[in-house]
Every structure is written in C-alpha cells, then in structure tokens.
Amino acid sequence: MSTDRVRESSRSKHPSLLRNRDYMLLWSGQVISTIGTGASQIVYPLLILELTGSPTAAGVASALASLPYIVFSLPAGALIDRWDRKRVMILCDIGRGLTLASIPVAMVFGVLTIWQLYLASLVEGSLFVFFNIAEVAALPRVVVKEQLPEASAQNEVAFGVAGIVAPSVGTTLYQVISHAAPFIADAVSYGVSVVSLFFIKTRFQTERTQTQSNLRAEIIEGLNRLWRQPLIRFIAFLTGGLNFVSAASGLIVIVLAKKLGAQDAEIGLIFSIGAIGGILGSLVGGQIQKRFGFGQVIIATVWFTALLFPLYAVAPHFVFLGAVAALSYMNSPIYNIVQFSYRLALIPDALQGRVNSAFRLLAFGFQPLGAALAGVLLERLGAVPTVMVYSLWLLMFAVLTTFSKYVRNARPLAQVQPT
C-alpha cells in the first residue's frame, strides 16, 4: 500500500482532533489554565525583585518551583500508574488554585512575605509534578498513536497563543490594576481546568490486571525500562541540559531588559513577542516531523539553540531581546513535538506514569540548579557573563547530540511499537 493510501486510511479510521470531544475538553481546559499560569509566573520575579531587590531571591523562588521534580517524580510516577489519573489532576488543580489565591489574600491583609512566595512556589511546583505526569500518561488514552504528533503540535500552537497573551495580561494586570490581580486570574483558570476535567468521559488508564503493593519495586521497574531504552535515556539527559538553560533564561531576560530601560509592561511585551515564535514553530513542527528524520530534527534544533542564546548578550534594545526570544520559542516546540510523540509511542500504557516520571526527573531535575545559579551569577558577575556561561553549556550538549549514534539512527515514528 502506498504512503498516501496509508495516510488516507488513517484519516478515515480516526476522527479529527477537533471532533474528539474528550481531547478538546482536555485541550481547552489546559489552554485556559496555561494563560492563567503564564500571567502569574511572569510577575513572580517582578514581585520578588520589588520586595527584596535581589535577583538571587528571585532565582531561589524559581528553583523551588522546579525542585519537586527531583523529590517527587519517581514516587509520583508509580502512584499515577496506581491511582485514578483524572482524579489526581482534579485534586492537584484545586490545590494549585487555593495556593495562588492565598497570595492576594495575604496582600489584602498586608502580611505577604518572601517566605510565603517561596512556599507557594514549592507547593504549586509539587502539585504540578503529579498533574503533569498524570496528564502525559492520559494523553495516549484520549488520542491514538497516529495522532500524537498532531495533538502535540496543536497543544504547542495553543500554548504558544497563551504565551503571547499571558505575559502581557499578567504584567498589565500587575501594573495597571493591582499586584494581586494576576494571581487571582490564575486561581480562576485552575477552576476552569477542574470543570473541563469533570466532563471528560474517557478513562485515563486501562484496566489493571493486578496491583503491586511494593512502591519501591514499581519505581525501579520504571527506571529500568527507561534505562533499557538508550535513545529515550539520552533524550532525557539532553532535555535536562536544555531545561537547565530554559529555567534561567526568563530571569536573565528580565534583568537584561531592566538594564536596557524596559518597564514592567514592556517586559511582558518581550515575552509576548517571543511567544509569537512559539506559534510559528508549533504550526510547522508537525510537518517537520513528517518530512525529516528524528535525528535530523533533534540535532538541528539543539544546534540552533546553542548558536542563538549568545545573542542575548549583545542586545542593543529590549525589542531585540523579544526577537531573540521569538526565534528561541519557535525552535522549542519543534524539538518538543518530535521527542514527545516519539517517547509516548515507545511506552506501554501500564508504564506511562513510571517511565515518564523517570524521564521527567532527568529532564526537569536540572531546572532548580539552573534557576538558582542564574540568580547568583547575575548578582555577582552581571548579565553578559551569565549569558556566556549558559552558552558554553548549550554548545557542549550540541556536540554530544551530534555524535550520539542513538539519535542519528532512530527509526521512523510509524515503525515504533511500545516495548
């Protein structure tokens, strides 16, 4: 059968994502929640810088939001494979909404401290670990394997749009209405996500034939399964290396923008400009995944990141920062669409939580160090030397990826089966 006939048969067998009710409920709820989160996350460092005047303090808050991946990823993955995944997601979003709502309440009574912001970052980050692993594990239940790249691309487009809207909304609410407004908006967005999840009919996991009682054994099983997949193992470390820089880039851009005279609302505009690139990358990511091999895309996107990041150091105006961010955001979803859909196709449903949690431990475990180090380097060395340190880190990973035989020799997605 020709390739065109195979594709046509796939289209007729599976309805489009727009007609997939449960996927659209999941997708729309998360888009709204992402807008809310983006609106509050952009003002976190602004609020902390206003309270303390310390980039290090802002870096610590960002690190605390990422730290739970190191602490909770592995047990969360095993528990997600035991528990009702949809219930976990609902409870996590309720907890995240209440956590964000506590910040404006403290502002009203004049008792907000840096320690509450640290605690809120830690709690929200902890709940995100459970929610995110459950969501990733549930996606192959809502979408068939053949549509995973399309679903990933559609998610990236929507989140790119959210990335345009959220920073400007967050900084405008923060500067024009009140410092509490972005956090109220985020709390409401979590409520919308909870409602959308309630209406999804598809079960987020297959029936389990047996339930293990040894949590340690289940965790080890997930780790072993990841380690026996050398390609996914390498991509986990590679994604961790990229996220090490990603966790630092937001604070770096904010400090550089302030140095160039940008106001709070203009800083939001920088990130909105960047998000436009994210939409473009999401729109072409699915097509690139079809036209080029896995290894070609991964190697090219990593090199693009490594060569682009140093341009932050030579920005003559804050608008230039937005342009560099746009190119970076354009590259990121292309990488994510390819590696994400490939990874999900390799993992059996019963192990989705455990293997993805092991992957995410490596992929996101670098973020706390990257965020905290950025604050220290910015305060002690300045913005330009900090950019160069992270640029050298990216260059190292680009070279390693180029010489990885697992990346270069990866099979096409259509030939991948869960193992």
Q: Looking at the predicted structure, is the pLDDT value of residue 306 above 90?
A: yes
Kindly state whether residue 190 falls inside one of the protein's structural domains: yes
Domain that holds residue 393: 18-198+214-413
DSSP 144-208: -GGGHHHHHHHHHHHHHHHHHHHHHHHHHIIIII-TTHHHHHHHHHHHHHHHHHHT--S-SSPPP
> From residue 138, how far is each of 9, 206, 344 by CA, in Å?
25, 10, 10
Q: Looking at the predicted structure, is the pLDDT value of residue 413 above 80?
A: no
Mean pLDDT of the region 266-295: 78
Kindly state whether residue 94 falls inside one of the protein's structural domains: yes
% of the chain beyond a pLDDT of 70: 92
Backbone angles phi, psi at 397, to 5 degrees: -70, -30
**Which of 339 and 287 is assigned the larger pLDDT?**
339
Q: Give residue 298's pLDDT band: very low, low, confident or very high (50, 70, 90).
A: very high
What local confidence, expressed as pLDDT, does residue 12 receive? Answer: 44
What local confidence, expressed as pLDDT, does residue 213 receive? Answer: 63
398: domain CATH number is: 1.20.1250.20
Interior CA angle at 307 toward 265 and 320, to 5°?
25
What long-range pairs does 111-118 form, CB within 8 A, spacing at least 24?
112/51, 113/51, 114/48, 114/51, 114/52, 114/57, 117/44, 117/47, 117/48, 117/51, 117/61, 118/60, 118/61, 118/64
pLDDT, averaged across the chain: 82
Q: Give residue 194's pLDDT band: very low, low, confident or very high (50, 70, 90).
A: very high
Mean pLDDT of the region 204-211: 64
Can you tell me the distance from the alpha carbon of 201 to that of 26, in angstroms, rounded to the nearest whole number? 11
Kindly state whether residue 232 falls inside one of the protein's structural domains: yes
Q: Looking at the predicted structure, is the pLDDT value of residue 211 above 60?
A: no
Rg (CA), the chain: 21
Q: Give residue 13's pLDDT band: very low, low, confident or very high (50, 70, 90).
A: low
What local confidence, expressed as pLDDT, does residue 9 receive? Answer: 42
Q: Give residue 18's pLDDT band: very low, low, confident or very high (50, 70, 90).
A: confident
What local confidence, expressed as pLDDT, does residue 4 receive? Answer: 41
Kindly state whether residue 59 falls inside one of the protein's structural domains: yes
Kindly state whether residue 7 falls inside one of the protein's structural domains: no
Q: Looking at the predicted structure, is the pLDDT value of residue 398 above 60?
A: yes
How much helix, strand and coil, in percent to the nearest 5, is found in the chain?
85, 0, 15
What local confidence, expressed as pLDDT, does residue 345 receive? Answer: 75
Q: Identify whether the C-beta of residue 346 lies closer than 8 Å to the C-beta of residue 229.
A: yes
- Global pTM reads 0.66
Q: Looking at the predicted structure, is the pLDDT value of residue 337 above 60?
A: yes
What local confidence, expressed as pLDDT, does residue 390 receive? Answer: 94
Mean pLDDT of the region 25-40: 87
Backbone angles phi, psi at 304, to 5 degrees: -60, -45
What local confidence, expressed as pLDDT, does residue 208 receive? Answer: 60
Q: Identify whether the C-beta of residue 386 lies closer than 8 Å to the C-beta of residue 262.
A: no
Closest CA to 95 of 125, 64, 140: 125
Q: Looking at the predicted structure, is the pLDDT value of residue 328 above 60?
A: yes
Q: Looking at the predicted structure, is the pLDDT value of residue 3 above 50?
A: no
**Which of 159 and 243 is assigned the larger pLDDT?**
243
Q: Say how many residues make up the chain.
A: 419
Mean pLDDT of the region 279-285: 77
Q: Give residue 299's pLDDT band: very low, low, confident or very high (50, 70, 90).
A: very high
What local confidence, expressed as pLDDT, does residue 302 receive? Answer: 94
Kindly state whether residue 5 falls inside one of the protein's structural domains: no
Kindly state whether residue 101 falls inside one of the protein's structural domains: yes
Pull the structure tokens for residue 53.
């005047």
Any idea what DSSP says for residue 411? P
How many domains are contained in the chain?
1
Can you tell me the distance from the alpha carbon of 151 to that of 156, in angstroms, rounded to the nearest whole number? 9
What local confidence, expressed as pLDDT, does residue 210 receive? Answer: 55
What local confidence, expressed as pLDDT, does residue 419 receive? Answer: 64
Kindly state whether residue 12 falls inside one of the protein's structural domains: no
pLDDT tens digits along 108-152: 888 888 899 999 989 998 998 899 888 888 887 888 767 777 787
- Residue 175, CB half-sphere, CA atoms under 13 Å: how many? 14
Query: Measured between alpha carbons, how far apart are the two ends of the chain, in Å?
Result: 26
